[in-house]
Structure 1
Amino acid sequence: MKKLLYTLLTLSLCGMLNAQEYYFPERNALWEQKNPTEYKVNTKRLKAVVDFAEANEYTGSRDLRIAILKGFEREPFHEISGPTKKRGGPAGMILKNGYVIAQWGDVKRVDMTFSVTKSFLSTMAGLAWDQGLISTTQDKAGDYIWDGTFEGEHNSKITWEHLLQQNSAWSGELWGGKDWADRPPREGDIDDWKFEKPKEPGTFMEYNDVRVNVLAYALTHVWRKPLPQVLKENIMDAIEASTTWRWHGYDHAWTEIDGINMKSVTGGGHSGGGMFINTEDMARFGLLFLNNGKWKNEQLISKEWIEKAITPSVPNSNYGYLWWLNKKGDRHWEGLSQNIYYAAGFGGNFIVIDPENDMVVVTRWLEPNKIGEFMSKLNQAIN
């Protein structure tokens, strides 16, 4: 009996130690900081990392309506269809084991995050999978959504996985956005591309917000409730995020479910909308993924889903389920762990998960082509 009690006590203590391996900040509390030297981080080099982030602000206008219209001026029919917000300056946080070892800028300011929103949208699919609302990501989306969105010889082949990996080649129009008009090729005649036969689903990745918005629309109908509500109830409240974040759709993106009009949100912000959130809440979301979907002692999203989400797709080794992966490929950060994965958005918004170093990195308004150099400098500081 004594041996059994000793065993149970030992297991309990081990569980407590595991649960305390990472620090999880309480809601509205001051996020606890640690001296970088406690983790053998070179403070001089770490300061140089922060200085680099502050010195390499995104060069686009702080008036994001101007930045968006300029950034996507090549797209036919492009216009602002959802909310926007003037942005702040560079901001960021670097977490080690959940503790802040560096931060800069206004980390409580709410700003747009553009395609960082896609990784939140991926998580809505993960929750649906965890709860059995979606049986398998290999299922055809048309088996769940029968209103014509996935009808026809081409669109009927599309699976949830195709949508999540951005290789669905979905063809059509949603909320006034035409799939062929999103991010046109830089060479050749756009009319040739407009009438080009869609590629076979699952064979070619095309970064396309219209198709991502189709995924958001489909998930709204699977959940039968607005996705911001799903996110709040299942994730954001549980990770004790602030009450300041918002997830917007286009002004006219309404759909009726069970007799109730619901807003279908966007997976990005290049026509407005998407996730509006502060740096600290982004860091909380990143910390949840660093800890394999567990916040304190509560499993919010399954480890199995995260493993699926960060598995490279066949057409693009650097992309999983709306998460970028640091695998060997066109977007590989040379010299850094291939286990790093991250959310990325227009204007230099990033949530970087580095499991090998127990780190989460959030940057806001870093010139996008500087993120690889930024991460290399950080790697030098921690090693």
Structure 2
Amino acid sequence: MMLDIVDLLKSKNAETVRREDTFSAVLFNQTLECKELVEEAFRFEGITTPASIENTDENIRRHVRESSIEVVLVDLNRSQNVAKDMERISHLLPNHASVIVIGSEDAISTIRNLKQMGFYYLFWPITKEELVDFVKHVYENRKKQAGLGKNRIAKKVAFWGSKGGLGTTLLTSEVGLILSDLKNSSCVIVDHNFTGGDIDIFLGIPDFEKRSVQKGGLTTSMDFSYATSMTKKVNDMLSVLSIKSSELNELELKEYVRIFATELARQNNFILEDLSRSVNSKQDLLYVSQECDIFVLIIEPSVSSVREACRLIAELDKIGSPLRCILVMNYTRPEMSATITRSEVEKCLGQKIDIVCDFDKSAGKDIIEGKHIYQLKTALSSNLHKLTGLILGQQMIPTKRFSIKRLLKGRA
């Protein structure tokens, strides 16, 4: 009887060890050779075989969001530029998963670039033993909360209006909706208006209330869960962080919101900072230059807006910021009301305008009716999709223009 009990205990201990060594993984494969080796290696080691899915952006978008997935293997053996391809799909990958890239590109720069993005790199060809050892090493890092996964934080995008009333909150909201609804990227919109604003109208949130914070609310135990509790869900992949206080002044509220944003960046793909207010200071610009990756500067075709934009660009140059700048000219009134032309704006700023949003007289009515611009078939909607594409690093395909003379000549 004693022997049976000992055998039973041994059996339970062995089962516990096996359960601890079990983890969920998925392989997005480009080549049959890689798929077969990965599956064989996992079976050989007694690890649950990962689901194997063809490596396409759409497949990654649909399958990788499961919270149970701990390790993602990405086969890029057919890639012409491994780092560039991973940068393109990075917004599709959840920050909670460890990502192992398998590729045949033998370059130090590839390893360095992937490491900066928080991805592991395994050079192909490999043996089963090498793959198993590498995967185990990555999994051990996960259990210790160490390794490259810790480096993966959200891309921070600052939407900055050169003055008030330029539609900055609208653009921020629509880009957040596109990224979350169509690009399957987890996003948080950070509202920097602590006293009012219309972000709830643009996002379509009924009965919206900013979260209240009090003095002494931030403690050393403040973590991702606490920061998440301060947000309001818009959809499964999009939340908004909007706070207020009767005790804290604006500078203190800015400090609070930045700490929350830092925590939220650990588990999201994008942090979109809505800096639409006209009271943004030089300190705000310094924060953006140090903490953000992309700077979306929104202007209108007016002398005051362009002058302020020139000042902002000069300040960023003085700081030496590595920000990637996207320049958007938004017509909030009919074009005939403009006091300066597009070519004059570009000459003053010394750079081309990336996106021009023409005046849309029906946009206000659509928003009041609860519609989202990105879902409509309008010129403004098309430009919002182009802006999102630029943020994602996608190349814009120029629209072909046909002159009337050439068309008539062709018919003759």
Q: Which has the larger radius of gyration?
A: 2
TM-score norm. by structure 1 comes to: 0.25
TM-score norm. by structure 2 comes to: 0.24
- Structure (1 or 2) with the greater helix fraction: 2
